[in-house]
Amino acid sequence: MSTTTEGKRHRIGYALAPKKVQSFIQPSLINHASSHNIDLIPINPSESLIEQGPFDSIIHKLYGTDWKKQLEKFSLQYPNVPIIDSPEAIERLHNRISMLEVVNRLKIPKRSEILEVPKQVVVLDSENLKENGLVGELGFPLVAKPLVADGSATSHKMYQIFDTDGLQRLDAPIILQDFVNHGGVIFKIYVAGDYVQCVKRKSLPDISREKLATLKGSLSFSQISNLNAREKSKGGQDDVVDLEKVEMPPLGFVEEIARAMREETGLSLFNFDVIRDAKVGNRYLVIDINYFPGYAKMPNYESVLTDFFLDLVRNKERELIAGSIEDGEQASNTGGEQKGNND
């Protein structure tokens, strides 16, 4: 693969929490990027961003007023340096209501596959969790998720709810979603600019009507995972999923969703989780969208992210060249007009 400017090295600054640095900035990524003339430069958010440059681009996953001010100040001085991504666009994914509203706004060409989000109810007051009529159109089992989805430990506390008693342990604000049997498989689609990759992972097992009658209260997702692991070790769970045999969603469908999500959100680095309805094989549901996910879990992530960085640099250089040509044309036209006036 050829680099944008032979021999010239490009600086991609990264501002990430320590845990994210540890998982994402792996030696394999540093080395692969370096071999393509990309240097990954750590940014200290407590120091002046401007003084830590120059940068050809900045990637980040930090929040807070001070950091936003740093980015705004940097953009004013260096408007041609792309910041991936804008804090305003990222914040849209921090609320599970606005997050899934994204899906309803996607412009996707008509095809045989159906794309939806699960039916859901938003609960803003914990007192309402004690009311039996709360779930409305929803039926048990339900999935309960915190309203805030900012990557914190609290935002990952999710439960499967089997009856009205199971609602009692929840704290508002919270989202209650219809649990759709999906064959115990979730599809995680990673997006990095134009690059899209779909991987399959094990998920919550299906629940039949008969099985639901035996379940009481609620279980956290971690408890369900532990129970499944114990069942498997005992030789139980005849319906254990063989991921190798699971068919992927059509690639064209996945790429169309990713492209539409990029256009709707204005984001370049994200993933979204999709399940396939076990009853309706062409019905897919988006259940989560995450900003700057764990790319290191994705096969061959070093190449994908390096290509993404190279695209950032190439696009920036193309824009600068186009801007220079435009400025030159304007100067030439102005000069011609001036000469004509002098004549």
| Interval 135-177: pLDDT, tens | 767 889 999 999 998 877 788 889 999 998 999 888 889 999 9
Beta-carbon contacts of 54 under 8 Å, excluding residues fewer than 6 positions away, are: 11, 78
Is 288 part of any known ligand binding site? yes
pLDDT at 131: 67
Is 203 part of any known ligand binding site? yes
Torsions phi, psi for 290 (to 5 deg): -125, 135
**What number of CA atoms fall less than 13 Å from residue 9's CA on the CB side?**
10
Is 180 part of any known ligand binding site? yes
Q: Residue 3 — pLDDT band, cuts 50, 70, 90? A: very low
In whole angstroms, how far apart are CA 17 and each of 41, 65, 269, 278, 291? 14, 16, 16, 38, 14
pLDDT at 1: 38
* Mean pLDDT computed over 54-68: 96
Is 234 part of any known ligand binding site? no
* Mean pLDDT computed over 253-260: 97
Is 228 part of any known ligand binding site? no
Percent pLDDT > 90 in the chain is 70
Give yes or no for a contact between 310 and 303, defined as CB atoms under 8 angstroms apart: no
Q: Residue 223 — pLDDT band, cuts 50, 70, 90? A: confident
Instruction: Return d(Cα 23, Cα 21) in angstroms, integer.
Output: 6
The residue behind tokens 């390096």 is 306
Beta-carbon contacts of 281 under 8 Å, excluding residues fewer than 6 positions away, are: none
Is 156 part of any known ligand binding site? yes
Is 184 part of any known ligand binding site? yes
Is 235 part of any known ligand binding site? no
In whole angstroms, how far apart are CA 238 and each of 49, 231, 234, 241? 55, 10, 11, 9
pLDDT at 45: 96
Instruction: Return d(Cα 212, Cα 56) in angstroms, integer.
Output: 55
* Better-predicted residue by pLDDT, 339 or 315: 315
Instruction: Return d(Cα 175, Cα 326) in angstroms, integer.
Output: 51
Instruction: Return d(Cα 311, Cα 192) in angstroms, integer.
Output: 10
pLDDT at 222: 81
6: pLDDT strictly greater than 60: no
**Torsional class of 231: left (φ above 0), alpha (ψ -120 to 50), beta (otherwise):** alpha
pTM value is 0.87
Question: Domains of the chain by range and CATH?
Answer: 1-85 (3.40.50.11370), 95-117+180-205+241-291 (3.30.470.20), 119-179+207-240 (3.30.1490.220)
Q: Residue 101 — pLDDT band, cuts 50, 70, 90? A: very high
221: pLDDT strictly greater than 90: no
Is 268 part of any known ligand binding site? no
Tokens of 336: 């011609």
Q: Name the least confident of 14-28, 106-120, 239-253, 323-337.
A: 323-337
10 Å Cβ neighbour count for 257?
24
**In the predicted model, what is the mean pLDDT of the chain?**
88
* Better-predicted residue by pLDDT, 134 or 78: 78
Instruction: Return d(Cα 261, Cα 283) in angstroms, integer.
Output: 18
Tokens of 182: 């999906």
Instruction: Return d(Cα 217, Cα 144) in angstroms, integer.
Output: 12
Is 103 part of any known ligand binding site? no
230: pLDDT strictly greater than 80: no
pLDDT at 274: 98
Instruction: Return d(Cα 181, Cα 275) in angstroms, integer.
Output: 9
Q: Residue 245 — pLDDT band, cuts 50, 70, 90? A: very high
Q: Residue 110 — pLDDT band, cuts 50, 70, 90? A: confident
Angle between helices 301-342 and 27-34 (to 10 degrees): 40
31: pLDDT strictly greater than 50: yes
Torsions phi, psi for 274 (to 5 deg): -125, 140
* Mean pLDDT computed over 233-255: 81
* Mean pLDDT computed over 46-61: 96
Is 182 part of any known ligand binding site? yes
308: pLDDT strictly greater than 70: yes
Q: Name the least confident of 36-50, 121-135, 159-173.
A: 121-135
Peptide bond into 311 cis (omega under 30): no
Is 96 part of any known ligand binding site? yes
Instruction: Return d(Cα 123, Cα 174) in angstroms, integer.
Output: 5
Give, rounded to a whole angstrom, the gap between the first and last alpha carbons of the chain: 54
Q: Residue 341 — pLDDT band, cuts 50, 70, 90? A: low
The residue behind tokens 């060249």 is 321
2: pLDDT strictly greater than 50: no
Is 266 part of any known ligand binding site? no
pLDDT at 265: 96
Q: Residue 4 — pLDDT band, cuts 50, 70, 90? A: very low
DSSP 3-state of 311 = helix
Is 186 part of any known ligand binding site? yes
